[in-house]
Amino acid sequence: MKCIFCNNTETKVVDSRESEDLTRRRRECLICQKRFTTYERAEDPQVYIIKKDNRRELYNRGKLKGGILKACEKRPISLEKIDIGINKIESKLRTLENNEIQSKLLGEEVAKMLKQLDKVAYIRFASVYREFEDIGDFKKEIQILSKRRG
């Protein structure tokens, strides 16, 4: 693993910790001795996302996570819970027979997941991917949520 500071190719592991779905390693360059962090994780599901305009784009965890994090900004949701949620979604993606999914359907999956975690994040996310047309849509959605759990 190349050192991110001096580009030397030899580094050693000084610590490694494994969690649910990833392994974090702390590495040290054998030359400059600076340290940096690496992550090992399963490769993304090889699935095409079919956009509204029918363009196909490879699924990208980072991109999906970015959108989710935006919806979760300042909300009391741990990164771990979000990662576990994304893992569940990816499990579903891996079972798709034709290796493709409409972005709308993927959005619904994310929304479903967020609904379990945090209502505010859910609403924020839904407002973007469903393209709520006006504030009325928010109100409707909020009412639905309010009825269900106080």
Which residues of the chain form contacts with its own copies (CB under 8 A)? Answer: 1-2, 4-5, 7, 9, 18, 20-23, 25, 36-43, 57-58, 60-63, 65-66, 69-70, 87, 90-91, 94
In the complex, least distance from residue 45 CB atom to DNA, rounded to whole angstroms: 13
Name the nearest CA neighbour of 91 among 72, 113, 76, 70: 113
- Other Cβ atoms closer than 10 A to 52: 9
For the bound state, the minimum distance from the C-beta of residue 62 to its own copies, rounded and expressed in Å, comes to 3
Give CA separation, 99 vs 60, 62, 108, 126, in Å.
14, 19, 17, 24
Residue 112, contacted partner among DNA, its own copies, none, CB below 5-8 A by kind: none
CB 107 within 8 A of CB 130: yes
Q: Cβ closer to DNA: 107 or 117?
A: 117
Q: Which of 33, 42, 56, 80 binds DNA (CB under 7 A)?
A: 80
Candidates 52, 62, 74, 150; binder of DNA (CB under 7 A) is: 74
CA dihedral 63, 67, 68, 70 (to 10 degrees): 130
Identify which of residues 7 and 23 has a Cβ nearer to DNA in the complex: 23
